[in-house]
Amino acid sequence: MAHARTEDTASASQGKEALFWKKPRIVAIPVCNEEDHIVACLLALAAQTSLPDRVVLWINNTTDATCHRVLSVAHRLPFELETVTACYPSAIASAGQARRDAMDHASRTASPDAILLTTDADSEVASDWIDSILAAFIQYPVEAVFGRVLLLPEEYRKIPLHLHEDEQSERAYGALLEQIGLLLSPEPHDPWPRHLEHSGASIAVTHAAWRRVGGIPDVPSGEDRAFARALRQNGIAVRHAPQVQVYVSARLQGRARGGMAETLARRLIAQDEYIDDAFEPVSRRLLRIRRELAYWQSQSSFLDIPYPDFPVVCIRRKELPQHHERALRVLKRLRQMNRRSPENFPIETAGQYDIPPPVLTGPEPSVFHGRPG
């Protein structure tokens, strides 16, 4: 009997794998004045071990030679390429609006079983980007997959060492918060190791989940994080897959207000007083976890309790070491209390995933939180 159950489980797993490999894959990319990057972006998609079926370029408010560059390489691409041009009034022109419209356009002609993907026009996805995304969908019961954003090795050298060190410190603290959360509220669909990012440079979502949340939220910037929040608030399972990777430039003039380029340019002049607001005090994280657990329990009991919403509480950079130590103490205490937790559950930083694929050379790449600008 046990042998029969094992065979049934294996058969179901193989069936799910075959199903996902057959799903249409559509990549939507917002593009604005990307003559220096768009060819590399498209060639990276063309080099995928599993190709996209269609790529939609939403070319908006563009005055440079982007369209010419696209035409120069279009005949070499092994997938259907659709280009759409748009010009937004200055009052509403934004990276968030462009991504929302690009993905909405791609979704209109997509089949109900399609997977919608998005990246940035200055990005170069890893050659196994789509393969790794599909592997995450197959391995875990999720409807969305967020990938990691790394700097191209040659771009890494452009950034002062102290900024890389500050970033490492932020991510080390963030990793502790994630592990605390997983001990208090386990997520089998998104276990450790997982990364900490919600970047528009690497999002994949099922068409059904996309429709359920109404697409990308209508915000001028930070639409990637807003989309992640919308997924969570609607109970849609997400995998933060460290194997899904995309490489970006370290440019200082970006397309998104509040994006990576703007953040980097500002920090080159003077480091921010506060760390990324995604990394809240551990006391706030504990409260958030309790409130979210209460919310989901109320949903199963048909109680009308609103989804918990908290004002942002930021940490001063100079106080980060104290917050790190506090989080470390909480994590160790939770381990002592949770006998079910395996002894080898590691206290790790996110830096363990900062090793680029073997084909790349150069120093360890870095990550800047938020969507590349």
Domains and CATH numbers, the chain: 20-161+186-254 (3.90.550.10)
Res 249: pLDDT: 81
Most confident of 4-18, 46-60, 276-290: 46-60
User: Mean pLDDT, to the nearest integer, of 51-59?
Assistant: 98
3-class DSSP assignment, residue 55: strand
Cβ of 252: how many Cβ atoms within 10 Å?
Answer: 15
User: Mean pLDDT, to the nearest integer, of 321-345?
Assistant: 82
| Global confidence as pTM | 0.85
Residue 268: pLDDT above 60?
yes
**Of 156-165, 244-253, 289-298, which range is least confident?**
244-253
**Of 73-77, 216-220, 323-327, 353-357, which range is least confident?**
353-357
Cα–Cα distance measured from residue 247 to residue 336, given in angstroms and rounded to the nearest whole number: 39
Please choose, from the candidates 73, 119, 93, the residue with its C-alpha nearest in 3D space to the C-alpha of residue 246.
Answer: 119
Helices (H) and strands (E) in the chain, counts: 12, 8
Res 337: pLDDT: 86
Res 255: pLDDT: 61
Res 171: pLDDT: 94
Residue 120: pLDDT above 80?
yes
